[in-house]
């Protein structure tokens, strides 16, 4: 997968060169390119923002640099399937695990990191000519720009790509790929500051361990994220596990 990120703060994306994603980039599994939007300005001050039409506080990102930057990623006369352009925005479709799975299937993802009050809307409209454009929000809270959102999305998406994480088995049991949240995990020592690891985990009975973990998942999800399950589901989950 090719990943392009356009930002006025390219250094914000530096952490993507670390750990598993950095290694995947070195191994050629990911082709990660971070571009500075200011490289597509034509004035000596490398201006990327201006005052909003209609008035109001703050500044808006000018269309011209964005148009040139997007054309550099995908020229108007390019052939082949359109890349997907993700535009982080508080007004976007909320990012979730399902979207991560869907985007992990793409060959080429482009991320446009806005700042200030946002990007001139005509850029999004223009981009639809050469990209499949998806405005995306990572949650119902307000950030100062799109870079943090891109970090979240790139990590959630890239880890689903074969070869990026060492053990694909670990993708199978994860929260949000299942309805239920993760069960609690423990490691040595068995006793720590007067707190013991649950006995069932020390015994090696895999069936009992599995049931313990499933019960913990149901308890946690019912307590912390009742929106993910209904009471009916809890009963059917219990019934299904009992019959297993």
Ligand X SMILES: CN1CCCC[C@@H]1Cn1ccc2ccc(-c3n[nH]c(N)c3C#N)cc21
135-144-34 Cα angle (round to 5): 65
Pick the closer one to ligand X by CB: 1 or 138.
138
Give the CA diameter of the chain: 71
Pick the piece of the chain touching ligand X (CB under 6 A) from 14-22, 26-34, 135-143, 228-236: 135-143
3-state percent helix, strand, coil for the chain, nearest multiple of 5 = 40, 20, 40
State the nearest-atom distance from the C-beta of 207 to ligand X, in Å: 42
Binding ligand X by CB under 6 A: which of 5, 6, 85, 115?
A: 115
Pick the piece of the chain touching ligand X (CB under 6 A) from 72-80, 109-117, 186-194, 236-244: 109-117
- DSSP β-bridge partners for residue 60: 50
Among 129, 135, 130, 151, residue whose Cα is nearest residue 3: 151
Question: Binding-site residue total for ligand X (CB under 6 A)?
Answer: 19
State the nearest-atom distance from the C-beta of 187 to ligand X, in Å: 34
Sign, CA torsion 14/109/171/89: positive
SS3 assignment for 125-143:
HHHCCCCEEEEEECCCCCC
Binding letters toward ligand X, positions 143-172, x by CB under 6 A: xxxx--x-----------------------
Q: Which positions from 18 through 37 interact with ligand X, judged by CB under 6 A?
A: none
Q: Does residue 142 belong to the site contacting ligand X (CB under 6 A)?
A: yes
Pick the piece of the chain touching ligand X (CB under 6 A) from 2-10, 77-85, 114-122, 204-212: 114-122
- Helices (H), ranges, 159-230: 206-224
State the nearest-atom distance from the C-beta of 70 to ligand X, in Å: 16
Q: Does residue 89 belong to the site contacting ligand X (CB under 6 A)?
A: yes
- Indicate the pairing of strand 108-112 with strand 2-7: parallel
Q: Does residue 88 belong to the site contacting ligand X (CB under 6 A)?
A: yes
**224: phi then psi, degrees, rounded to nearest 5:** -105, -30
Contacts with ligand X, residue ranges (CB under 6 A)? 88-90, 92, 114-115, 117-118, 136-139, 141-146, 149
């Amino acid at each position: 997968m090719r990943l392009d990120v356009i930002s006025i703060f390219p250094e914000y994306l530096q952490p993507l060169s670390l750990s598993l994603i950095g290694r995947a980039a070195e191994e050629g599994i990911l082709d990660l390119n971070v571009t500075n939007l200011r490289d597509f300005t034509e004035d000596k001050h490398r201006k990327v923002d201006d005052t909003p039409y209609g008035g109001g506080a703050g500044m808006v990102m000018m269309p011209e640099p964005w148009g040139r930057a997007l054309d550099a990623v995908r020229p108007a006369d390019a052939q082949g399937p359109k890349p997907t352009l993700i535009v982080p925005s508080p007004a976007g479709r909320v990012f979730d695990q399902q979207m991560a799975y869907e985007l992990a299937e793409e060959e080429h993802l482009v991320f446009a990191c806005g700042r200030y009050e946002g990007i001139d809307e005509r850029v999004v409209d223009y981009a639809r000519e050469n990209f499949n454009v998806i405005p995306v929000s990572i949650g119902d809270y307000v950030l100062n720009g799109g870079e943090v959102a891109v970090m979240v999305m790139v990590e959630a998406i890239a880890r689903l790509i074969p070869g990026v994480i060492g053990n694909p088995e670990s993708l199978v049991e994860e929260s949000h790929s299942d309805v239920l949240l993760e069960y609690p995990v423990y490691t040595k020592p068995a006793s720590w500051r007067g707190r013991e690891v649950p006995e069932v985990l020390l015994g090696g009975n895999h069936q009992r361990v599995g049931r313990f973990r499933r019960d913990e998942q149901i308890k946690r999800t019912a307590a912390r994220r009742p929106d993910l399950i209904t009471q009916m589901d809890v009963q059917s989950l219990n019934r299904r596990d009992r019959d297993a």
